[in-house]
Amino acid sequence: MAMRRVRPVRIDGTEFENRQIVGEQNRISSTYKTYLKILFGLHLTVLIMMWAKVFCENAVTYFGMESVFWRKLDLPPAYLWEYVWCLSIIPNILALYAMPNNRVSLHK
């Protein structure tokens, strides 16, 4: 005996509006992810400068490494928040791995 086939619901083209809404949300999401990655890059450049400052200060203080350039800069000692901020690379890396790979060019 042949089984009776059931036709899928909304196969007549009425789901078109829902597909358009979901597609727009994905395009906006991928655009904002691009902006977020740019901000992560800017954060990384500032973070590298902060690492250099903290590392050089610790090298002079604890290891006795003197540098003419470091002495000429005459920077104040690092505060506690600067040491904590140097660890902010960890949330950035986790956030980059958490983002799925969708691109704006695929939604055009």
9-65: per-residue pLDDT in tens? 666 666 555 555 666 777 777 788 888 889 999 999 999 999 988 888 888 778 887
User: What does the alpha-carbon distance between residue 105 and residue 30 come to, in Å, rounded to a whole number?
Assistant: 9
pTM greater than 0.75 (yes/no): no
Domain ranges of the chain: 17-107
- Report how far apart, in Å, the C-alpha atoms of 83 and of each of 11, 41, 98 are: 59, 20, 25
| DSSP category for residue 78 | P
Does residue 3 or residue 48 have the better pLDDT?
48
Q: Where are the alpha helices (DSSP H) in the chain?
A: 16-63, 68-73, 80-85, 89-98
Phi-psi region of 76 (alpha: psi -120 to 50; beta: other; left: phi over 0): beta
Model pLDDT for residues 61-99, shown as the tens digit of each residue: 788 877 787 778 777 888 899 999 999 999 988 888 887
- Report how far apart, in Å, the C-alpha atoms of 100 and of each of 30, 58, 96 are: 9, 38, 9
Phi, psi of 4 (to 5 degrees): -80, 125
pLDDT at 104 over 60: no
